[in-house]
Structure 1
Amino acid sequence: MQIKQILVPTDFSENAEDALIYATELAKRCSAKLHLLHTPVIPTYLLMDLSYSPGPEAVTRILNESQDALDQQAKGLAAAGVEYFTVIREGTVHEVIRDYAREHDVDLVVVGTHGRSGVSKLMYGSVTERVIKTVHTPIIVIPPEGGKMPSSIVVAYDFSAPAKRAAEVARAIHGPFPGPLHMVHSYLDVWGEYTDRGAVVGEAAEKRRQALHLGLEEMLKTESAELFSSDPKGIETHLVTGDPAEGLLRVAQDVGATLICAGTTGKSGIERLLIGSVARRLLHESKVPLLLTHDDG
């Protein structure tokens, strides 16, 4: 795949600006078009159990102010020489983003996060949790610290279809950027606890332990060579045991990763990944941008 259309939903916050800065540089490197999308909040007032929406003049004012803010943010895009579109769409935020991404064949969505609470404060707060659950387009989440360009990429790889999808997106992002790409597989060391159970049991367990490691190492290298056949020399593989998130974050820190990639599966898409401890830790603890993909994205 190629990254040709990038969508940046914005609420004009500092975090959204960080996402836009990241996406702008990515669009330049990938020769991609950038879509800057804002969904205005049209307030509804409650009085005596009845709801009242603002009149036409108030709505027009809100839309005009939104367009002015979009135009202001877009100045950086024009200066960077990136082809862009500014769009205002009313509606429910996560549905607007999902529908727009589908309609315009968006390849990548870039969003920012707020503060320490990570995913619970993504861009529009809990609304963006629904964005992550709903939008099956690959999403890059920019942490509060901002993000550097993906010169060193780590891919969490468990040989599943979603993992392959994450690797494919990583390959497309990696193309314009020099630097290594690291494939990381975390596995359960099932024989480790038996290596000290006496000479006979321990020796047999150690042989099986080594065989498992060597087998996984060969599988990972084979898959990596197939996925990145155009540049196999730039790919490094890593096997880690123990807690998957901890192992992945440790490798990412050791290699100086500037992007971590992970996939998810199931009918509920990234919603399943979000409720898992691995994803929760990645979203809360990663200091670098995190790419999340869905197997049918």
Structure 2
Amino acid sequence: MDVKLSTILVPHDGSTPAGQAVPYAAGLAAAVGGRVVLLRALPDATEIGRPEIRAAIDAAKADLAAIVKRLTDGGVTAEAHVYDGDAATAILRAARDQNADLLVMSTHGRSGLGRWIYGSVADDVIRHADTPILLVPPHCAHVWPGGRPARILVGLDGSDFSQRILPIALDLARVVGGRVHVARIVEIPPVGLAYADAYPAAMYPELDPTIELDAAREYIDRLTADLAARGIDIETTVVLGSSSGTIASIASEKSMDVIALATHGHGGLTRTVLGSVSTSVLRMSTVPVLLVRPAPIELSGETAPTATIER
């Protein structure tokens, strides 16, 4: 998957938290000359004969138009669309209609469009979207860097699956003019506890942290050497600790601009966005989190097409 930022889709429900995603989308679009597409989802929006629906559509279009004006006044190409239907379906449909290269979403807002992390909207979007998703935590006060390379922190757990985020992060760094820092987190599983989705056996043998750290360093050395042979220079960290807490700490200590994760792998990074690690990272992070699912789940029983309201 090559990262292109020609079109960046930003779902926006009109709330202040949802608006936090806009500056990041604008910063990325400005860096590469891309366009920002704003989206508002309104249930029953096709029933424009009802006065309350017509009023809601008009209010949504006026709100989005004001944001578009601010972006275009700042030199960013932008447009807005109002879609009929539930939030997740509207987001997925708009991503396809607009050929979105990236979704940028707030992790907190109101109504359906606000439940990115803790409700079904996030689950549906993450599982079915075939584009990377940049999630902006509600307490994120970080400003997208201007005038300097962006710093991208990649969290790896040693699995082939988690490593699939690396080419995407490297490509993003190339596109926006950034630098990648790879963190190999060594997480020792609790002895005697069963994690059926993460560990192959009910009883996991006790591991020697020294041996695990040495193996992790060898893994990073091989990775670094392979990239160096291709002319790619990265920074690295190998550390023992909990995946979520360590990733967030490294991002803060090293002044990272983005954290990049695959949605599942081995060990601490096994869980999907609604699982413990990614959710914890989002709760603790003060910078946006880029999530990529290398193999998106196909929708079964495709929902009827979502209407775009342009009247």
Same fold (TM over 0.5): yes
Q: Say whether the 8 Å CA contact 2:158–2:219 is kept in structure 1.
A: no
After superposition, give the CA deviation of every residue in 1:12-70 in whole Å (9 maximum; x if it has no partner). 11122221111111100021121111112449xxxxxxxxx895333222212211111
- How far off is 1:89 after superposition? 0.8
Task: Give the structure 1 partner of residue 223 of structure 2.
Answer: 220
> Which amino acid letter does the alignment assign opposite residue 138 of structure 1?
P
- Distance in structure 1 (CA, Å) of the matches to 2:209 and 2:161: 32
- How far off is 1:224 after superposition? 4.3
Out of 122, 126, 129, the residue aligned to residue 119 of structure 2 is 126
Task: Give the structure 2 partner of residue 13 of structure 1.
Answer: 15
Q: Say whether the 8 Å CA contact 1:133–1:271 is kept in structure 2.
A: no
Task: Give the structure 1 partner of residue 66 of structure 2.
Answer: 72
Instruction: Say what the alpha-carbon RMSD is for the aligned residues.
Output: 3.3
- Distance in structure 1 (CA, Å) of the matches to 2:263 and 2:276: 13
Structure 1 segments, 4+ long, off by >4 Å, are 159-162, 176-179, 205-211
Q: Mark the CA change 1:208 to 1:89 in structure 2 (over 3 Å): closer, same or farther.
A: closer
Out of 141, 147, 156, the residue aligned to residue 146 of structure 1 is 141
Task: Give the structure 1 partner of residue 52 of structure 2.
Answer: 58
- How far off is 1:189 after superposition? 6.0
The structure with the larger Rg is 1
Partner of 1:183, secondary structure, is strand
Residue pairs, 1:1-297, within 5 angstroms: 1=2, 2-42=4-44, 55-114=49-108, 122=115, 126=119, 128-129=121-122, 130-144=124-138, 145-149=140-144, 151-160=150-159, 162-175=161-174, 177=176, 180-188=179-187, 208=211, 211-225=214-228, 229-232=230-233, 235-265=234-264, 272-296=271-295
Question: Can you give the 5+ residue segments of structure 2 that lack an aligned partner in the other structure?
Answer: 190-207, 297-311
Question: Can you give the 5+ residue segments of structure 1 that lack an aligned partner in the other structure?
Answer: 44-52, 191-204
Q: Mark the CA change 1:285 to 1:55 in structure 2 (over 3 Å): closer, same or farther.
A: same
Q: Say whether the 8 Å CA contact 1:265–1:295 is kept in structure 2.
A: no
After superposition, give the CA deviation of every residue in 1:255-291 in whole Å (9 maximum; x if it has no partner). 111211100249xxx9941343211210211111111
Q: Say whether the 8 Å CA contact 2:11–2:39 is kept in structure 1.
A: yes
- How far off is 1:295 after superposition? 0.8
Q: Say whether the 8 Å CA contact 2:165–2:292 is kept in structure 1.
A: yes
After superposition, give the CA deviation of every residue in 1:81-138 in whole Å (9 maximum; x if it has no partner). 22222111101110111122123321110011338xxxx9546973532333432321
In terms of fraction of residues, the more helix-rich structure is 1
TM-score (norm 2): 0.73
> Which amino acid letter does the alignment assign opposite residue 90 of structure 1?
D
- How far off is 1:225 after superposition? 3.6
TM-score (norm 1): 0.76
- How far off is 1:152 after superposition? 1.6
Q: Percent identity between the aligned chains?
A: 25
Q: Mark the CA change 1:146 to 1:162 in structure 2 (over 3 Å): closer, same or farther.
A: farther
